[in-house]
Amino acid sequence: MRIKLIRHGESLANTNVVDPHTEGDFHVCLSDRGVAQARTLAERVDAGFIKSALIYSSPYERARQTLKILLDDHGLAPTVYEDPLLREHDRGYHDEESQLEMRKAHGWFYYRHKGGESPADVYLRASVFLESLYREIGRSQRRNVLIVAHGMFIRCFVMRFLHLSHEDFLTMKDPDNTDIISIVPQEAGRSPAFSSPRWCVEGLKLKPAGE
């Protein structure tokens, strides 16, 4: 089994054109640059992998658009499973800057944004999703998985899949737009960021030591 996790292309919120707190985060679309980024994915994810994979997407518009561009560029129309468990980290409806000291005191992984989620909450969503994914793999003939989601979900999924610590999580950089993070068998890994006895993760960038 191989799993490819793709962060959506640049969105209008990433460029501060819209405010997801007032526009509704799930409505936020790709920017023109984000569309161009998504068009490069067909060069990096081949049609053969897609045909052999279970395909999942966050229901947020920017993830939907990214996946649709990839599939259209390959001329494919496979079944896509949208799952709200893959949605963006909910940062609530309050000013984030006013919560910085509380986040430092309670820990970046565990602090729950006012009216929103902590990364630990996203980790729980990733755990629930992974259990449903295992069941679907058991029912299907497909052994590869393609997921288009968001940076926080991808990091939490990797943390859960490889049974990493929250200290490991804190060393991970947020994936760039349209970055592809791959989880592959240990023997197939070439330059893993993290590994377990059976699996390793490639394409995930780490922060410099001490940052």
Count Cβ atoms within 10 A of the Cβ of residue 7 and give its class: 0-12 exposed, 13-18 middle, 19 or more buried. Answer: buried
Dihedral (C-alpha) 184, 83, 175, 28: value to the nearest 10 degrees?
160
Count Cβ atoms within 10 A of the Cβ of residue 131 and give its class: 0-12 exposed, 13-18 middle, 19 or more buried. Answer: exposed
Q: Are strands 180-185 and 2-7 parallel, antiparallel or unpaired?
A: antiparallel
| pLDDT value for 99 | 63
Judge whether 210 lies within some domain.
Answer: no
- Dihedral sign from CA coordinates of 195, 197, 46, 75: negative
| Residue list for the binding site for substrate | 7-14, 62
Judge whether 180 lies within some domain.
Answer: yes
Q: Write the single-letter amino acid at 53.
A: A
- Residues 92-98: contacts with CB under 8 Å, at least 24 apart: 92/116, 92/117, 93/21
Judge whether 28 lies within some domain.
Answer: yes
- Domain span holding position 162: 2-202
Which one, of 145, 202, 149, 156, lies nearest residue 177 by Cα?
A: 149
List, for residues 30-47, the tens digit of each pLDDT value.
Answer: 999 999 999 999 999 999
> Is the per-residue pLDDT at 210 higher than 90?
no
Structure tokens at 145: 């998985």
**For the chain, what is the domain count?**
1
Judge whether 113 lies within some domain.
Answer: yes
List, for residues 112-131, the tens digit of each pLDDT value.
Answer: 877 789 999 999 999 999 99
**Dihedral-angle region of residue 161 (phi above 0 means left; psi in -120 to 50 means alpha; beta otherwise):** alpha
Element (DSSP H or E) covering residue 164: none
Confidence of residue 211 (pLDDT cuts 50, 70, 90): low
Mean predicted confidence (pLDDT) in 11-17: 85
Contacts of 158 (CB under 8 A, 6+ apart): 5, 164, 172, 181, 183, 194, 201, 204
pLDDT mean across residues, the chain: 92
- % pLDDT > 90, the chain: 74
Mean predicted confidence (pLDDT) in 163-176: 96
Judge whether 209 lies within some domain.
Answer: no
Q: Are 21 and 93 in contact (CB under 8 A)?
A: yes
Displacement of CA 151 from its chain's centroid (Å): 5
Q: What's 11's domain CATH number?
A: 3.40.50.1240
| Residue list for the binding site | 7-14, 62
Count Cβ atoms within 10 A of the Cβ of residue 195 and give its class: 0-12 exposed, 13-18 middle, 19 or more buried. Answer: middle
